[in-house]
Each structure stands twice: as structure tokens, then as C-alpha cells.
Amino acid sequence: MFPTHRPRRLRRNPAIRRLVAETSVEPRQLVLPMFVKEGAREPVAIRSMPGVFQHTRDSLRKAAVEAVEAGVGGLMLFGVPQKRDATGSGGIDPDGILNVALRDVRAEVGDATVLMSDCCLDEFTDHGHCGVLAPDGSVDNDATLSIYGEMAVAQAEAGAHLIGPSGMMDGQVGIIREALDRAGLLDTGILAYSAKYSSAFYGPFREAVESQLKGDRKTYQQDGANVREALREVQLDLAEGADLVMVKPALAYLDVIRAISEISDVPVAAYQISGEYAMIEAAAANGWIDRRPAVLETLTSIRRAGADVILTYWAVEAAQWLNQG
């Protein structure tokens, strides 16, 4: 009798496929990134991210409650300020939009989910870079660090459980840990964007935060050709006190997620970014791809690669699908 081996036996119906599935995605593993726009009276739709909005303070609170009800594991907040300046001072100001929004959401949902904040200057600077600039126009790593420290303290005091440094400055995790500890914020953790690549897939996000950037971030974000460099960044962030490490983007860097999950002794997160979202939404809107299975397939792939936590703009909808079974 041939064939003697029949792997198809384990695929013959949904029940057996469910029994032997190696990877699962659960709502608790999903984190919803959210945008809040200073002074907005109505939520503003983001053209390149259908279904995603720049929230008002009010609509943000409501969306946060909806996300908690869907069972998502966390919320990651980004602010869109009305005014920007050379040093991104709106990020440190307790009355800056991101800090105000953190306070709002924390008051609304308490500890029912994990509240995270983007700790980076690009939304707050008038030049759009993730750090302050030296006189010659280059990004000044060390001058940026002390601002990150202050920003992290402001965010923690506003209610963030986890601070998410995303600027890829050398030493950012260490300086933030030190600043938090010095302020007595010992329980506030750090979700380090450890391996963040310079990517063409950030395009829609730049619309979402009305980015002022001209040029690129290649002097601080990683080169997509490299994986060894990502491992080194992770090791440094672990040594500096990261509580979780993150890879970003996700789909084009599944091998990096895998490599990092094998060396990390803290949970690994992956960020399915704006361009990954936009690609599937655009294809689905054209009837070229079946949206729901496509989304779930990407989430499963990211988990299979080794991510414990996934930041995704589909977090709430995917959680609702998963809850339906």
C-alpha cells in the first residue's frame, strides 16, 4: 500500500485541525495602537488606514472601553499635538496631548488592560525626527536621551503601565529606567522597541500623526539587511533593563522575531505596522483578498515566528472574531 504515510489525516476536518494546531492567537496577546488629536472636535478618519481614526479625547475613552470589553491585552497611545517645536516640548508637558490622554484613559479603564505610551519625539518636533538636532542638522543622540527620561516620567505619572521608547537612540532604555527609578516609579515597565527597522511600511502612520519629517530615519533605525544587529540591540536593551523587547515591522521581519525569541529571556512583542494594515485593507477593499482570513493568517504567522504579544490596528476586531470562535 502506498503512500504509507498520510499527513492529511490530521487535516480532514475542523475538529482534528483544531486539536493539533500548534499556534493560537488570543485576544489577551493583542495590543491596540490608538491616536489622539489635540483640539479635535470629531474623530478624524485616516485616509490610508480605513477604519482607524485620530480620536478626540472623548472618542478615545470610548474606544478604550470597547477594546477592554473585547478583551485586548493592551493599548498603545500616540499623540497628535497642535503645536510642535524643535525640542518636542509637548511630549514632556503634563498638559501635552499624549499625557492628558493617558490620564483620561487610565481614569476610564484603570488596570483592566495594560496602558502603554509611545516615548518618542517625532510626533512633537517640528522637523519630525525622533530626537533633537545638533547644529549641523544631525540627530543628537545624547541630547535626546535626557528628554526621553523626562518624557517617560511624565507618561508614567500620567498613568502609563509600560513606556515604549521607539526612537532607536543608543542608551534610551537605560536612561529611561534610571529616570523612572529616580522618580520612584519602580513599577512602571519598559516595552523597548529594540529592533526597529527603517521601513517603507511606516507611510500611513506618518499620515496618522501628521508627521513633519523630510528625509528618512536611516541614521537611527536599522537597516533591513541585518539580523545580527537586531540581536545586539536586544542584548543591550536587556542589559539596560527592558521588560519586553519588540521587533518592528512584523511581516517582513518574521526571521528577526524568530531569532530574537530564541535569545530573549523577556517576552517578545512584534508591531504589525500601518503599512501592513493598509496593504490588506486596500487589497480587501478591491475584492482581491479575503480580509478576515488574511488578517488572522498574518497574526498567526507573527505568533508562530515567536512573538508573545502583537501590536495591531486590528486588535479589537480580531479579538471579537476570536471570541466568536
The annotated binding site for 5-aminolevulinate is made up of 206, 217, 274, 313
Q: How far is the CB of 222 from ligand PBG (least distance, A)?
A: 11
Q: Which is nearer to ligand PBG, 60 or 191 (CB)?
A: 191
DSSP letter for each residue of 260-283: HHHH-SS-EEEEE-HHHHHHHHHH
Question: Is residue 184 left, alpha or beta, with left meaning phi > 0 and alpha meaning psi from -120 to 50?
Answer: left
Helix (H) or strand (E) holding 246: strand 244-248
Shortest distance (Å) from residue 164 CB to ligand PBG: 8
Long-range Cβ pairs for the range 285-292 (8 Å, 24+): 285/50, 292/321
| CB of 95 vs ligand PBG, minimal distance in Å | 20
Residues 158 and 99: beta-carbon distance below 8 Å: yes
Q: What are the Cα distances from residue 20, in Å, to 27, 87, 249, 298? A: 20, 53, 29, 19
The residue among 240 and 276 lying less far from ligand PBG, judged by its C-beta, is: 276
Residue found by looking up cell 517640528 in the block: 126
| Choice between 53 and 205, CB closer to ligand PBG | 205
Residue with cell 479625547: 57
Q: Which parts are annotated binding residues for Mg(2+)? A: 233
Q: Alpha helices, DSSP H only, in the chain?
A: 14-20, 57-70, 97-109, 141-158, 172-182, 203-208, 228-240, 254-263, 274-285, 291-305, 315-324
The residue nearest ligand PBG at its CB is: 205
Instruction: Give the active site residues.
Output: 196, 248
The CB-of-61 to ligand PBG minimum distance in angstroms stands at 22
Rounded distance between C-alpha atoms, residue 142 and residue 280, angstroms? 39
Question: Minimum Å distance from CB 312 to ligand PBG?
Answer: 9
Do 271 and 250 form a contact (C-beta atoms < 8 A)? yes
Name the minimum Å distance from CB 13 to ligand PBG.
38
Where along the sequence are the contacts to ligand PBG (CB under 6 A)?
118, 120, 122, 130, 166, 202, 205, 273-274
What are the φ/ψ torsions at residue 143 (nearest 5 degrees)?
Answer: -70, -30
Residue (145 or 324) nearer to ligand PBG, CB? 145
- Give burial (CB, 10 Å; 0-12/13-18/19+) of 70: buried
Which residues sit in the known binding site? 206, 217, 233, 274, 313
**Judged by CB, which is closer to ligand PBG: 197, or 321?**
197
CB 315 within 8 A of CB 72: yes
Residue 204 near residue 277 (C-beta atoms within 8 A): yes
> What angle (nearest 5°) sits at the alpha carbon of residue 162, between those of residues 250 and 184?
155
